Structure 1
Amino acid sequence: MNIAILYTIFAAVSTAANIGAQDLSTRLYSGLGAVPFSVFIGTGIGLVVKYVLDKKWIFKFKVANAKHDASTFALYTVMGIVTTVIFWAFEFGFNHAFHTKEARYIGAVIGLAIGYITKYQLDKRYVFATHRAS
């Protein structure tokens, strides 16, 4: 299957995991700081889902051991900081502008789409190409 199609499918799966985790989080807790907490939880869930899928199916990356996997995931996470700022800016921006969870989720989807396009290039160049097992 074409890498672009597969990556798009995985981005959609990760986006669904992120938004689903956020929605579940706000259903379970609606008190002070519920929205930022839900965004943090969703971001973490989406990150792990995307890493597992990208590592195996997009980059066909094999880790040498648990330490190598952990360090690769750490680098993957660092590369995701920039893209997370993009995603959060859209999500919180839409939340601030429209004050509905639906608008917040639309902002999240737009931000995640832009972020994933950027993240692919970062991961291809800096995570999975340069962090091979020795």
Structure 2
Amino acid sequence: MTLYFVFAAIMIGLNYLIQKLNELVIEPFICQNFGVNDFLHIFYCSTYPFDMPELMGSIVAVGITYIIKFFLDKYIVFKKTETKLKETSLEFIKYFGFAILTTIENIGIQFLLRNYLNTPLEISVIIALSIGYLTKFFIDRKFVFITENGE
């Protein structure tokens, strides 16, 4: 369990780094150069009624970190040595099915903290991802990376 949370802390840092990169580099570039495109303006550059660049940055950051975390969890945390495509594919599908639920939880918490409580990005990321990773650990242990003895 300790390794899980060490990796979760690293993923929180990576998530924050990706979101800051989006905020400081990617969003200004896209919105200045392509913001006249109605689709991009509405779904990425708009800040009214909600901060869409932040929401999209959060979604991308969570997606990237979940892919990395899947492999860390499978092979290091839960010590699964099975590399057969069928088993790994099934684990991957279950992992990302549950990841969708915890991603909604993460992004929802972060969205509420930022838009309704005006919580700074750094604090909202830490709170939302900590809750999400704790939820994800128990789900993964119970339903995704099942060992021979059922744990």
TM-score of the superposed pair, with normalisation by structure 2: 0.73
The answer to whether the 8 A contact 1:17-1:49 is kept is no
Match of 2:80 among 53, 58, 61: 61
Question: In the aligned structure 2, how far is the partner of 1:36 from the partner of 1:82?
Answer: 16
Unaligned runs of 5+ in 2: 32-44, 46-51
Question: In the aligned structure 1, how far is the partner of 2:97 from the partner of 2:123?
Answer: 25
Matched, 1:7 2:26: no
Unaligned runs of 5+ in 1: none
Counterpart residue identity of residue 82, structure 2: V
Which residue in 2 is equivalent to 1:105?
Answer: 122
Counterpart residue identity of residue 54, structure 2: V
Which residue in 2 is equivalent to 1:35?
Answer: 54
Count of paired positions: 125
Q: Runs of 4 or more off by more than 2 Å in structure 1?
A: 62-71, 97-100
Which residue in 1 is equivalent to 2:14?
Answer: 17
The answer to whether the 8 A contact 1:91-1:111 is kept is yes
Q: CA RMSD in A?
A: 1.9
Which residue in 1 is equivalent to 2:108?
Answer: 89
The answer to whether the 8 A contact 2:59-2:107 is kept is no
Match of 2:67 among 24, 39, 48: 48
Rg bigger for which structure?
2
How far has the Cα of 1:70 moved from its partner? 3.1
Matched, 1:76 2:73: no
The answer to whether the 8 A contact 2:99-2:136 is kept is yes
Question: In the aligned structure 1, how far is the partner of 2:86 from the partner of 2:16?
Answer: 30
Question: In the aligned structure 1, how far is the partner of 2:5 from the partner of 2:70?
Answer: 14
Counterpart residue identity of residue 62, structure 2: T
How far has the Cα of 1:123 moved from its partner? 0.5
SS at match of 1:61: coil
The answer to whether the 8 A contact 2:109-2:128 is kept is yes
Question: In the aligned structure 1, how far is the partner of 2:82 from the partner of 2:18?
Answer: 28
Question: In the aligned structure 2, how far is the partner of 1:105 from the partner of 1:81?
Answer: 22
Counterpart residue identity of residue 116, structure 1: Y
